Amino acid sequence: MTMSLLPSVGDGNCYYILTEDCAYGSKYFQAGNMCFCTERSYLSNFTNMPPTRFLRVVMLDDSSTVTINVGILQPVSEEMAAFLLGISSHSERLNCFLERLSLEAALQAVPGQRVMVEVNQQHFPAVIRYIGSVQKSTLTALSPFFFGVELQGEGENRGHNDGSYHGIEYFKCRPNCGIFLPFSKIQFIPKLDNDHGKQKPKVDTEEVVPVKVGDAVSFYVDNVRRKGIAMAVYREGTQWFVKVCPEEEGTTDIFREIPMDSVVKEDLHSQSLYPPFESDMDVEHSQMKQQIGESGDECEGVNPSLEVNSMVQITLDKGNQVSGIIRWLGYLPHTKHRMAGVELDEDKGVTDGEWLGKYYFHCAPKRGIFVKLQSCQPDVRFQCSRNPNLIDYREKEDVPRAPLSFPPLRNEEAVHILRGRMKGIQGHCNSCYMDAALFSLFSCTSVLDSMLFTPFPLCNRNVQNILRDEIVNPLRKNGFVMARSVMHLREQLTEKGQCSSFTNAEKDPEEFLNLIMHQVLGIEPLLRLQSGAQKEQDCYCYQIFMDKQEDLVVPDVQQLVEHSFLSSDLKLVEIPSCFIIQMPRFGKEYKMFSKIIPSLELDITDLLLDSPRECCVCSDVATWECSKCFKDKTFSPKGLKQFCSTCSKQVHSHYRRKTHKPTRLRVPQEFNRQNSRGNQQVPREKMELFAVLCIETSHYVSFVKYGPENEHWMFFDSMADRHGGENGFNIPTVTLCPEVAKYLDLPLAMLALEQPRDMDGVAKRLFCDAYMYMYQSKKMALYK
């Protein structure tokens, strides 16, 4: 659905939130950043026909002015923007905007309203006393809004102030009972609609909904009283409903949606139904004894293989099936069955891991659900196929556990083992970013095999073993990796990276690579860079930043890297064994260049710090470098421009170049002396391309070079096809794509005229959708 980019404006500004990451020049803005433009600027951009695709905005975080593709902007009202600004984490801010329920509740909240607030990962009752900004700044266009609340009950004395902040009083309460929080830390308790629903609630006396999530309730079906658990409380129009999971429905969690006035909270109906509220430990202990003392019903229907991190399927009401991962097992207050807290693959849940004000696990909003353990069954998509007629090779053999080493696949062996359907790495639940990256790094090269064996200082051996024994070895031995093996790795990364979304959310390859290389395995950075006289910088992936170059219509990777290094005054401190390069893009949608030519070899000689360089005129040892000459069209379009002393004087004697200021190069001592045979030959340092990751409509695929010839390319898609519909599984496919060579051999002018839709096979993906190029130095890989 297309939305107008002009939101409701209050002070003449239009406010927006970024829904995707965005690069602009040397700056990089994460999704969740906020920005604005004046109403006049908006109207001047969009009253013209056709309207422009880009909008010039001011970022609220740093007040920088940037131009952004309107496709990644979502409009917000001024008040909504102020509440969102109160959340410091960009990713959390975006999630709250997309989820909307809490944000809309914040917009409707008023002083005097009772709420539950999160303080130090604990939840306490509180009353809203103030809504607005604190410490208003004249330097920014908009100040963030916070809720000033007075903590009550167990929350007393857990606050930070008495309603004052930096000497300014916003409300009054007892010392250490006041605290200022963003709306994301507040759970707004819904109110029952009544005749006075539109009136402002009275301070401390407003009526709250009598039933909340987790309460034991009773209701009547055909004049028969039933009991159950409230799984969700929601409103449709003026009517409140409770989604109830009945206790008598067997092993299937049938959710009944019942009007609020037809549901009675159990402790109100009969005080003798449950004992007085106990601590969680007491409840669990007494309930476990009760279960053991009964007829063994607890074990009946429960699959003994289920445990935390098991992948399961659950049948809900009307036969709908959902899939997810068990994140917690145990007993909940007021429940007699052993329960499972499940993180679902889709937004079909009712919680984010919270039950009665306590978090038993953490996941994204609407991704969590609590069900009886006996309602969970192992996910059949990851079980052995017992039907020999079904073409499902997910379980070709058990995952090898022995610490063996299988070499990368090359030439005909790569074709024999990897080509075909159900080959490569099987995708599941937004895993394509990881599937494509792993296939690219390990199928046909050993440049990063040190990740599989070397005991780095911070190395997590469990992750290393999974990567080696469950993914890389099966890929190189059988040409196939099951989805559950990748899910096993994703679960470990979720735990180690303290990010609950690695098992189900869309990610970018660089986020995965930085996490596993830096935080989990702790390998040495792949790149060491230096900018001018500044300190060295370490990184694992290099993002190309550059302004749009009018003379670069169809550039190759060599040109892009040289322009980026020159514009940022960067040099490589040493020759990398692996050089991972991200192409310039604005988010996932807008590409700076419609086509990029893969450089099969990347010459880094002139990018190295304090390395011998060659005069671009006479090929002698260079002693001067000129950044201005790099843009001079008199010279060749490739290569940095450096000269020996003689050629530098001649070149800069021209009246157009007299204003240039070349910089002196540091030349190794042995290259300062000419030998008796003439000029010293400068060695060239070149890296070879071994893989390219591409993206189209948020789906990652990869091209891998498996042999020395230009035709030796294979194309991998972890979700190329599917078997079994919604409850089926993905079929990964590896195909050969020799047609790529045809376009690599074309002259630049002819390639520029090629229409992507007319390109043969999958070649269009390589030239038009490139996201990340991977180069290797086999010489340096021997030492790293």
- The one catalytic residue in 432, 615, 647, 694 is 432
DSSP state for residue 375 in the 8-state scheme:
G
User: How many CA atoms lie within 13 Å of 246's alpha carbon, on the beta-carbon side?
Assistant: 17
Give the tokens for residue 585.
Answer: 């893009």
User: How many CA atoms lie within 13 Å of 188's alpha carbon, on the beta-carbon side?
Assistant: 23
**Strand ranges of the sheet holding 224-236, from the earlier edge strand across to the other edge:** 256-259, 239-246, 224-236, 216-221, 264-265
**723 flagged as catalytic:** no
**90 flagged as catalytic:** no
* Contact criterion met (CB below 8 Å) for 290 and 270: no
Say if residue 50 is preceded by a cis peptide, omega within 30 of 0: yes
Furthest-apart CA pair in the chain: how many Å? 109
DSSP state for residue 11 in the 8-state scheme:
S
- The one catalytic residue in 123, 337, 428, 699 is 699
The three-state DSSP-derived secondary structure of 109-143 is CCCCCEEEEEECCEEEEEEEEEEECCCCCCCCCCC
d(CA 89, CA 144): 13
Give the tokens for residue 125.
Answer: 């009752």
Radius of gyration of the CA atoms of the chain, in A: 31
**Strand ranges of the sheet holding 527-531, from the earlier edge strand across to the other edge:** 537-539, 527-531, 570-572
The three-state DSSP-derived secondary structure of 276-341 is CCCCHHHHHHHHHHHHHHCCCCCCCCCCCCCCCCCEEEEECHHHCEEEEEEEEEECCCCCCCCEEE
Closest CA to 715 of 638, 667, 752, 767: 767
The three-state DSSP-derived secondary structure of 446-461 is CCCCHHHHCCCCCCCH
**Strand ranges of the sheet holding 178-181, from the earlier edge strand across to the other edge:** 178-181, 146-151, 122-132, 114-119, 186-188
d(CA 101, CA 99): 6
- Match 């984490």 to its residue by tokens: 89
Give the tokens for residue 302.
Answer: 């429960």
Give catalytic residues, as residue numbers: 432, 699
